[in-house]
Amino acid sequence: MKILVIGGSYFLGGAFTLIASKEHELTLINRGTFSMKRYGVTEFQVDRKDASALQSIPAQYYDAIVDFCAYDQGDIKLILENMKGLPKLTNKYVFISTVDVYERQVGYIKDENTPISKTRYSGEKGEYIYKKICLEKELVEICNKKGIDYTIIRPSIIYGPNDYTKRLENFIKMVLYGITIKYPEDAKAKFQMVYVKDVAQATLLACGKTPSHAYNICSEAINYANIMNTLTEIAEIPVTLEPISVQQALNEAKEKKVYLPFPVTQEENELYVGTRAEKELGIRYTSLLEGMKKTYNCF
């Protein structure tokens, strides 16, 4: 396949480029902060928001467009209306969204038919979710209008090598430096992590002929204790753990003006179904043990 990749150089995008470039012809559009030319891809260093720069890219056919970095309203429309030959010269647009677009606290595990949230939450995360919701609507409207297929990829918490959030990296550093890890032993919330290469593989498979709809990409539900136990199992040196209460963890996070890396309270408990991607795309989820071991070894 010939695939146009918007972004494709960092974390999830980088993992996708690494996997997809082995068998497919990739053209990347990004700002060039991290060059991926060593993987044999064609790369254009332009700002995706610069219409004139997009218009300067030569027209060619793409089996699919994969968009890793659409964050603002109009981002998808700008690509399809300014790159030469589009949308006629493509069959599919794959957009990376998030499971956070669903209504919150619905009382059941959410599948792809769960209603999308109509609430615009405050804060940086709330604004990020709202923009993803708007971009999903933009994608569906413009693809239906232009007569091309689309796929929406909705991953849960992504982890793995080069994770810019450093959720697991910070724990691994503490292990390597012999620092005691405090964790909320009585945390009620469960959450779902998914290994970065699983999301990359699902995205690649979505570039083929699939129905125009969304896929949740998420693995089994876990908690803080599962992460600590797994970290202890994979580490090659002793791991010192100190169980503390949720309240103590929240107080310490507030004092240090940081966020806890994973949900801890029942109010944060949001779970999803990721089986449609297994059945229709054919992906296999990496176990927590396997994924954390790979992350630890890469670090």
Q: What is the Cα–Cα distance from 184 to 186, expressed in whole angstroms?
A: 6
Mean pLDDT check: name the lowest of 47-61, 64-78, 80-94, 253-267. Answer: 253-267
Give the pLDDT confidence of 190-200 residue by residue, as tens digits: 999 999 999 99
Q: What is the Cα–Cα distance from 64 to 43, expressed in whole angstroms?
A: 16
Averaged pLDDT of the chain: 94
| 221 or 259: which leads in pLDDT | 221
Give the pLDDT confidence of 98-145 residue by residue, as tens digits: 999 999 988 889 999 999 999 999 999 999 999 999 999 999 999 999
* Closest residue by Cα to residue 40 from 64, 24, 54, 56: 24
Give the pLDDT confidence of 163-199 residue by residue, as tens digits: 999 999 999 999 999 999 999 999 989 999 999 999 9
Q: Report pLDDT for 145.
A: 94
**Cβ(78)–Cβ(54) below 8 Å:** yes
Beta-strand relationship, 241-244 and 181-184: parallel
Give the pLDDT confidence of 227-251 residue by residue, as tens digits: 999 999 999 899 999 999 999 999 9
Q: Report pLDDT for 267.
A: 86
CA 60 to chain CA mean position, Å = 28
Specify the CATH number of the domain 2-159+192-220+270-285: 3.40.50.720
Q: What is the Cα–Cα distance from 60 to 26, expressed in whole angstroms?
A: 12
Q: Report pLDDT for 33.
A: 80
Q: Report pLDDT for 258.
A: 83
- % pLDDT > 70, the chain: 100
Q: Report pLDDT for 127.
A: 96
Q: How confident is the model at residue 209 (pLDDT cuts 50, 70, 90)?
A: confident
DSSP 272: B
SS3 content of the chain, % helix, strand, coil (to 5): 40, 20, 40
* Closest residue by Cα to residue 249 from 237, 234, 240, 259: 259
Q: What is the Cα–Cα distance from 154 to 112, expressed in whole angstroms?
A: 9
Q: Report pLDDT for 105.
A: 84
Domain positions in the chain are 2-159+192-220+270-285, 167-189+223-267
pLDDT of 30 strictly over 80:
yes
Cα torsion for 275, 277, 278, 282, to the nearest 10°?
Answer: 170
Q: Report pLDDT for 34.
A: 82
* Strand-pair partners of 95: 67, 152
Q: Report pLDDT for 259.
A: 85
Averaged over 28-34, what is the pLDDT?
88
Contacts for 75 with CB less than 8 Å, ≥ 6 apart = 48, 49, 67, 69, 135
